[in-house]
Structure 1
Amino acid sequence: MAKSTKAATKPAAKATPTRSANSKIAKTQIIDMVADKTSLNKKQAGEAVAAVLTSVVTALQGGKSVGLPGLGTLSVTQTVARTGVRPGTSQKITIPAGKKIRFKVASTLKGTL
């Protein structure tokens, strides 16, 4: 019996974004970008970036929303207590109420992605 040389064709798969090792930008890279785009040296740019990040964290800890034009809005939302299932044992557990940070992407950024 002869084997067929015709390869089976598969439907084209959807293009999904893949994460490469360099898909995350570190704080030092942000500092370098700020220094390149402004007249600040790296030390001054580092202080500016640190001040912005500290201000954002402080505002969120105070329960305020933080709007970042062109990027989106960070806000703190309250979660309610709920019942969950422990994955390994299927035991029902109560997940306590808490807070989480929500991010809503700006429509201008969303449209360009």
Structure 2
Amino acid sequence: MARIAGINIPDHKHTVIALTSIFGIGKTRSQSICASTGIAENVKISELSEEQIEQLREAVAKFTVEGDLRREVTLSIKRLMDLGTYRGLRHRRGLPVRGQRTKTNAR
């Protein structure tokens, strides 16, 4: 198993799909990482050389992923709650934040 950004990447999956197992990297970002490193998207992780895996590590390191991203999101929500904004109050009460209905759902 290759280890990128502190996460064990599954060997049996294609490169694009395997990179999405890292928090903060979705399909579009993984496609752009593959394009920038010159690695084909349909190649499995087990077939990559150590140099190619190192290229992937360097490309992923340019983005905010995993623990740093989780901390950033948590601090952003905490900041909203501390400021007393409407969104912060909804987070604090555990209710929908983005305008969803609460008459029948979110109970």
Q: Which has the higher contact order (CA 8 A, sep 6+)?
A: 2
Same fold (TM over 0.5): no
Say which one has the larger Rg. 1
TM-score of the superposed pair, with normalisation by structure 1? 0.22
TM-score of the superposed pair, with normalisation by structure 2? 0.23
Structure with greater helix percent:
2
